[in-house]
A and B are shown apart, each in its own frame.
Chain A
């Protein structure tokens, strides 16, 4: 059973860069059957897809966030990462990493990590 675990700072200052890592255990991030993604949920609000990466490094981003987002993968460490630049209070959310099928269904999720943007 694959498990995903998010890690990173819980507090980020406005205008700085939010950085999170998702470590995958119980399965290989290099599997050709899956994609790996980031999804966030502002407090009390709905889910928003941020972006997805394939083990080869191909990336796909939400157009509304594309200019500020970079997702990368390190197959040697079996983890993938999220960087979101120039954050504001509107980026405060629980950030989830997930394993996705080829057509966007997220079958496995991390527990989520709350990132607060505040000075």
Chain B
């Protein structure tokens, strides 16, 4: 069970869109439509923002959207705002009730 691969960093200016990728294998991301995304601000617990590839929990702005193609899932943040600056993590169901996380991406709002 290897960690999912995310770019270490991403950036964008206020109002722009940014996309963060999450690459796994045919044993996790590629096999299940159960990819989640989390936002983590410094010193805080992660917060679920996307589950099952593209579903948003109640209260999460629709600026956050998810998609998947093959072994790669993506999180897009549209209309970037200063408060979107945070670390973002993906995770995927990996079969047999196991879960794997990505290494995380630090999003900077320029």
Contact = CB atoms under 8 A, between A and B. Distances in A.
Given A63-B1, A107-B57, A49 B45 contact: no
A61 to B, nearest CB: 8
A47 B34 CA distance: 17
Interface residues of A, number: 25
A96 B47 CA distance: 12
B32 A103 contact: yes
Interface in A37-51: 37, 39, 46-49
B82 to A, nearest CB: 23
A103 B100 CA distance: 11
Interface string A97-119: 00011011111011110000000
Interface residues of B, number: 27
A58 B57 CA distance: 27
Interface string A23-62: 0000000000001010100000011110010000010101
A47 B101 contact: yes
Contacts, number: 70
Given A96-B45, A106-B36, A47 B51 contact: no
B69 interface: no
A52 B97 contact: yes
A48 B99 CA distance: 9
Contacts of A109: 45-47
A67 interface: no
A103 B93 contact: yes
Nearest to A101: B51
A76 interface: no
A46 B101 contact: yes
6 residue pairs, one from A and one from B, having the closest CB atoms:
A103-B34, A105-B51, A104-B99, A60-B97, A105-B36, A109-B45
Given A39-B101, A48-B3, 11 more contacts: A35-B97, A46-B3, A46-B103, A46-B104, A47-B104, A60-B96, A62-B1, A104-B91, A104-B94, A106-B38, A106-B91
Interface of B: 1, 3, 32, 34, 36, 38, 45-48, 51-52, 57, 89, 91-94, 96-104
